[in-house]
Amino acid sequence: MTDSASAPYQLARDAAAAIAEASGVPAHDLALVLGSGWAGAADLLGETVWQADATSIPGFRPPAVAGHVGTLRSIRVEGTGARALVLGARTHYYEGAGVDAVVHGVRTAAATGARTMVLTNGCGGINPDWAPGTPVLIRDQINFTGATPLVGANFVDLTDLYTPALRQIAHEVDPSLDEGVYMQFSGPSYETPAEVQMAKVIGADLVGMSTTLEAIAAREAGLDVLGISLVTNLAAGISGEALSHEEVLQAGRDAGPRISRLLAETVRRITDGAA
């Protein structure tokens, strides 16, 4: 790798070292990114042993969106003793800071020793059966950004990008969970109804502005990936109503207890035997 291509990986190693130093936790087993509507969902995971403003760690930028919390937390998972690193906010592609900034949290998680990346988001749903507040497991993705975190002839296999064994665990925790294909648009505007119809025709069930670039970076780092979307609104043109950020925040509040339990129990089962 060239010096400029390796710099973001070095920055992630620096961040992981800073987290180990500040937290006193030398390594983590699993990491989570909390998306829109998921801010409270990590509270049932276990005891928070360290927490800090993400901007105190190298490479992390302040969050750009109301409703996102820019906090890093180290949690000792209740029942298993595993160490979970919780990234309370993400850098979005639409912020224009570049793909390396978008995936810095994932690379940092990998550098802390994490073997599993749990990516959550709030998104629009194309299936009208998914009322706002419905969690949906991500089965596969369409990266429609035109960007990638990979540089050079790095032909990472994405056949089982969202690890089947982890999806199986989530299904065991909540047998009513549906699965869907998540499509990332660049944003920051929501889609037009015509773009939502295009997404549907090419096989998407969920539309959002995050996650796919992070999943690719996680896979490149050798992590297992679990993705869970919270449908916070029906995608444009599906319901006939206009989209509002307030609706997104409200759906997150309403879904809180269900997604908190889902996340906590799934993480517990994933990390059983990890610590």
Say which DSSP state 94 is in: G
| Binding segment (CB under 6 A) for ligand 8IG, from list 14-22, 61-69, 116-124, 218-226 | 116-124
Q: Is 47 exposed, middle or buried (0-12, 13-18, 19+ CB in 10 A)?
A: exposed
Task: Give least dist CB 274 to ligand 8IG, A.
Answer: 31
Query: Do the annotations mark residue 70 as ligand-binding?
Result: no
Per-residue burial over 204-233, b = 16 or more CB atoms within 10 Å of its CB, e = otherwise: bbbbbbbbbbbbbbbbbbebbbbbbbbbbb
Sequential DSSP letters for 4-68: HHHHHHHHHHHHHHHHHHHHS----SEEEE--TT-TTTTTTSEEEEEEEEGGGSTTPPPP-STT-
The site map against ligand 8IG for 190-219 (x = CB under 6 A) is: xx---------------xxx----------
- Rule CB under 6 A: choose which of 88, 122, 135, 180 binds ligand 8IG: 122
Residues 8-47 binding ligand 8IG (CB under 6 A) are 36
In the bound state with ligand 8IG, the residue whose beta carbon lies nearer, of 164 and 203, is 203
Residue 32 main-chain phi, psi, to 5 deg: -130, 140
**CA gap 82, 148 in Å, rounded:** 31
| Binding segment (CB under 6 A) for ligand 8IG, from list 54-62, 63-71, 164-172, 182-190 | 182-190
Indicate which residue of 78, 191, 246, 265 is catalytic. Answer: 191
Enumerate helices (H) and strands (E) in the chain, giving the number of each: 7, 9
191 is a catalytic site residue: yes
Query: Do the annotations mark residue 191 as ligand-binding?
Result: yes
Query: Do the annotations mark residue 233 as ligand-binding?
Result: yes
In the bound state with ligand 8IG, the residue whose beta carbon lies nearer, of 248 and 270, is 248
Q: Could you list the residues that contact ligand 8IG (CB under 6 A)?
A: 36, 122-124, 185, 187, 190-191, 207-209, 232-233, 235, 243, 248
Residues making up the binding site for a purine D-ribonucleoside: 191, 233
Catalytic residues: 191
Residues making up the binding site: 36, 68, 90-92, 122, 191, 210, 233
